[in-house]
Structure 1
Amino acid sequence: MGIDVTTAELAGARAYSRTWLNIYDLYVLGFNNHLVWRCPTRHLRALYDSNISNDHLDIGVGTGYFLRRATYPSTHPRLTLVDLSEPALAVTADRLRARGLDPEVHIGSVLQPLPVERRRYGSVAASLLMHCVPGGWDSKGIAFAHIADTLAGSGVFFGSTVLNVGVPTNWLSRATSRAFNSNGIFHNEDDDLEGLRAALEREFSLVDIQMRGSMALWTARHPRRER
C-alpha cells in the first residue's frame, strides 16, 4: 500500500491526546468492544488475569485500564511501559502510581527493537495495538520478532486485535472500520486470522488464538529467537 510506516505510526500516536484518553475507556472499551467488535472487555481483562507475570512489559498502553485492574501474582510486580504516545504513557503511569505501582516508561515503536533493558520478561502484552500498526502482516509482523527478543523462554506473549477480513461484521462495524482506516487510527483493512496466525508462528512455536466477534485474542509461547 506504499505506507510510510514512520509517518503513519506517528500520526496514529498523535491521536492519543489527553482529551481523547479522557473518553477512551468509555468509548473504546465500553461502546466499541461491546457493540461494534462484539468482544466485551471482560474477555480482555481475563486474558490479563490469566497471563500477567511479576515482570511484565506492556506495549501500546492506552489508559492503563487493564494494568490497573489486573490480578498480579504478587503485590509488587515490576512493570515496563512502551508506547509512541507521551500522553498515553503519562496517563497510564499516573494511574498506576495511584494504585501503588511505579512503572518504567519508554517511548518507542513496536516496529523497531524495543527500547528496554536487555533482559527477558515473564509476560509481554500488546492489547488493541496491532490493528493500529501500519502495513500488512508481512511487514507489521516484525513487531512479533521484536517482542520475542524480549520474552523469557518460559514467558508468554498475549494480546488482542480487531480483524477486518473473514470475520463476522454488521453495518456498525463496517462503518466504524472504514472511518478508522480512512483517518489513520486503524491500519487493518487486510488483517485476517490466517495472516495473524502465520505472523505469530514465525516467532513462537506455541500459539493459541480465540475469536470473539471481530476480535482475535491470543497467547504465544516459546520464542523461536533466543539470543
Structure 2
Amino acid sequence: MIDKKKVMEGSAVYTPQLLSLYNFGVLQLSNSYIWRCPTSRLLSQYNQFVTANHLDVGVGTGYFLAHCQFPTNQPRIALMDLNTNSLNYAAQKIAPYQPEVYQQDVFDPITTNIEPFESISLNYLFHCLPGTILEKEIVIKNLKTILKDKGRIFGSTILAHGGEKNPMAEMLMNFYNSKGIFHNNNDTLEGLEEILKRHFSQVSVKVHGCVAIFLAEN
C-alpha cells in the first residue's frame, strides 16, 4: 500500500529555490561524480528515443526537454508532475513549444481525457516514489493508458541494489532516504526489469554507475 503522505512530502521538496540549484547540484555534480552517470548520457537517451508526440513525467527543471533534439520543429510536448513548482519551472524553460501541463499523482488512475503519446519519459522518477520497486509498477500501468499501442517508455532511476556505488554515493543515498527525498532502499535492477517486462515485449536496461537507464516498447 502506497503511503500518500510520503508521496506528497516527497513532491513538496521541489521548491522554487531548490529548482534553481537543481541543474548545478544534480545534473553537473551528482550525476558525474557521485552517481557516475553523466548528464550527457541521459540527454543522449532523450535524443535517441524522444518522439514528436511526447510526455515527460517527473519534469524536474525541464532541462532535457530544453536541450534534446526533437524529430520535428513543432513537437507536441506535455508535462506531468504532482508539484506545481516543477510544472511551472519546466513549462517556462520550454515555453516556445507551448507544452500541455498536467498535475497528476502517477499512483492514481489518469482520469483526464488526454490524447495518447508516442513516447513517455520517466527520468529520475522511480527512486523518488515511495514503496518497493514492485509497488511502483502501478505507475507503468497508469501511464500505459495514455501511451499509443506502438509507443515507448524510457527513462532512468538511481538504484540502491544492482548498480555500482562508491562510498560517496552510499552516504548520499542513505541521507536522501532518511529525509524522504529518495525511496529506493528496496529498488533492485531485477525488480525494475520485472515490472517493465510485465507490460512490454521489448525491454532494455543498462546500468551506468548507480543509474539504470531503461527502454520499454512493444
Q: Normalising TM by the smaller chain, what interval?
A: over 0.9
Do the aligned partners of 2:57 and 2:122 also contact (CA within 8 Å) in 1? Answer: yes
Aligned to 2:212, the other structure's residue is in SS state strand
Do the aligned partners of 1:167 and 1:214 also contact (CA within 8 Å) in 2? Answer: yes
Q: Which residue of 2 aligns with 1:86?
A: 84
Q: Which residue of 1 aligns with 2:5?
A: 7
Equivalent-residue separation in structure 2 for 1:4 and 1:208 (angstroms): 27
Q: Is 2:49 aligned against 1:33?
A: no
Q: Which residue of 2 aligns with 1:48?
A: 46
Q: Which residue of 2 aligns with 1:107?
A: 103
Q: Which residue of 1 aligns with 2:18?
A: 20
Name which of 153, 173, 177 aligns with 2:169: 173
Do the aligned partners of 1:211 and 1:217 also contact (CA within 8 Å) in 2? Answer: yes
Give the gaps of 5 or more residues in structure 2.
Answer: none
Residues 170 and 42 (structure 1), Cα distance of their counterparts in 2 relative to 1, 3 Å cut: same
- Shift in Å, 1:109: 1.3
- Shift in Å, 1:119: 2.8
Do the aligned partners of 2:43 and 2:64 also contact (CA within 8 Å) in 1? Answer: yes
Q: With the length of structure 2 as denominator, give the TM-score of the two structures.
A: 0.97
Equivalent-residue separation in structure 2 for 1:167 and 1:217 (angstroms): 11
- Shift in Å, 1:167: 2.1
Residues 35-88 of structure 1 deviation map (CA, whole Å, 9 limit, x = unaligned): 111000011101100111111111000000000011011111111111011110
Do the aligned partners of 2:120 and 2:153 also contact (CA within 8 Å) in 1? Answer: yes
Alignment of 1:114-129 (within 5 A): 114=110, 116-129=112-125
Aligned to 1:203, the other structure's residue is in SS state coil
Q: With the length of structure 1 as denominator, give the TM-score of the two structures.
A: 0.93
Query: 1:148 is matched by which residue type in structure 2?
Result: K
Equivalent-residue separation in structure 1 for 2:111 and 2:69 (angstroms): 26
Give the gaps of 5 or more residues in structure 1.
Answer: 223-227
Residue identity over aligned pairs, in percent, reads 34
Runs of 4+ in 1 over 6 A off after TM superposition: none
What do you get for the CA RMSD once the two structures are aligned? 1.2
Q: Which residue of 2 aligns with 1:185?
A: 181
Residues 165-189 of structure 1 deviation map (CA, whole Å, 9 limit, x = unaligned): 1321111001000100000000000
Equivalent-residue separation in structure 1 for 2:5 and 2:153 (angstroms): 27
Equivalent-residue separation in structure 1 for 2:162 and 2:187 (angstroms): 9
Farther-moved stretch of structure 1 (174-183 vs 138-147): 138-147
Query: 2:123 is matched by which residue type in structure 1?
Result: S
Q: Which residue of 2 aligns with 1:225?
A: none
